[in-house]
Homo-oligomer: A and B are copies of this chain.
Amino acid sequence: MKRKIRIKDIAQMAGVSVGTVDRILHNRGNVSESARIAVETVLKKVDYKPNIHISGLSLKRKYKVVITTPNIMKGEYWESIHAGISYALEEFENIRVQCLVYTYNQYDIYSCREIFDRVAETDADAVIIGATFKEESVRLSKQLEEKEIPYIFVDSPLENSSPLAFFTSDHYVCGYLVAKLITSIIPSGSDIGMLQAVRIGDQSANTSILRKQGFNDYLQEKNIGNNVQRISFTAMEPEKFDHQLTDFFQRQQNIGGVVVLNSRGGIVADYFAKNGIHDIKLVCLDLTAPNVRGLKEGYIDFLIGQEPEHQGFLAMKTLIEYLIYRKPVKVENFTQLDILTKETIGYYNQFNFMS
């Protein structure tokens, strides 16, 4: 167990002072070519890992990070992402980072445009983006690039952009998995109902589209015989849903299972609960409060978690480490797909990476 390398050690080995080493480590300039070479030679030899908690102790610089996501609803997906961000800030309590949170209505493209415009104007040191509207997000990313402000995506990546990193689950595999799970637990001849959100003018469906692709590809690949029946659902008018479902199940008498490729599965579980339906299998996404309830009560058979807290946590942690000492960043980061059942949900700790 060898002693940790400190800045002082490096300075000694390179024959310079700690001040010089610090300047080189932080690219602060005012260093002669010869000193730089001496220190960099040493740095290549030894494995220096700065202790970020202690740096923060003496770090005067404040960082401003803007976080922009859809509105935060209690017990919903985006709240978890923000919770993860908060945890990261707690872990790095010594670092002075000021967070500005800008949320928009994910069902209103105008709200998104307005907010993104404001985000583009800030003088933040970095931005964390929860992107749902595609065009708008690409535009924001371009604006940030021009100002050389690093940005990180959570929840989903975005084509045609060059983020510092993104943290997301693999939505395609997620859909693929849902197909595998539901078909493994329903009778082979039965039909599968798929809840389909009907939305207007938004692209947040992007993730849903990927999931649907994965879902369909599984059925095709494995030559699965179950037919898929769409259940349309107008997200903006939840009060209609009861009627829509009743209608659906009256028309479709051969449904063996239902899948929901967005996080709203809980309403199906609630419907099952209200109507005493126990023989239709249900596979849903995300640990929203209603979904967890549905799982615990036995109406949902498998619930897939995408670790939103972890996404937020890692996004902020990555950002801090990058800002402070340019720690190299891995761009593509996929979080786990957690398969949860009634039995395991009680032991599931969304912050198991923390405590």
Contact status B51-A54, CB under 8 Å: no
How many of A's residues come within 8 Å of B, CB to CB? 37
With A and B bound together, what is the CA distance between A36 and B173 in angstroms? 59
Contact status B339-A340, CB under 8 Å: yes
> In the complex, what residues of B have CB within 8 A of residue A334's CB?
347
Task: Say yes or no: is A61 at the interface (Cβ < 8 Å to chain B).
Answer: no
Q: Please list the 5 inter-chain residue pairs (A to B) with the smallest Cβ-Cβ separation, ordered nearest first.
A: A353-B353, A53-B53, A339-B339, A337-B344, A177-B343
Contact status A336-B353, CB under 8 Å: no
With A and B bound together, what is the CA distance between A235 and B340 in angstroms? 32
Q: Which of A323-355 contact B (CB under 8 A)?
A: 334-341, 343-344, 347-349, 352-355
Contact with B along A175-191 (1 / 0, CB 8 A): 01100100011000000
Task: Say yes or no: is A270 at the interface (Cβ < 8 Å to chain B).
Answer: no
Contact status B353-A169, CB under 8 Å: no
Q: State the majority secondary structure of interface residues on A.
A: loop
With A and B bound together, what is the CA distance between A10 and B222 in angstroms? 66
Contact status A94-B347, CB under 8 Å: no
With A and B bound together, what is the CA distance between A337 and B4 in angstroms? 36
With A and B bound together, what is the CA distance between A206 and B59 in angstroms? 52
List, sorted by A's number, 6 A–B pairs whose CB atoms are closer than 8 Å.
A51-B93, A170-B347, A173-B344, A177-B341, A336-B347, A353-B354
Known contacts A177-B343, A180-B341, A339-B340, then 4 further A-B pairs from the complex at CB < 8 Å, ordered by chain A residue: A51-B53, A53-B54, A335-B352, A336-B347
Nearest opposing residue in chain B for A304, CB measure = B344
Task: Say yes or no: is A310 at the interface (Cβ < 8 Å to chain B).
Answer: yes
Task: Say yes or no: is A273 at the interface (Cβ < 8 Å to chain B).
Answer: no
With A and B bound together, what is the CA distance between A335 and B344 in angstroms? 10
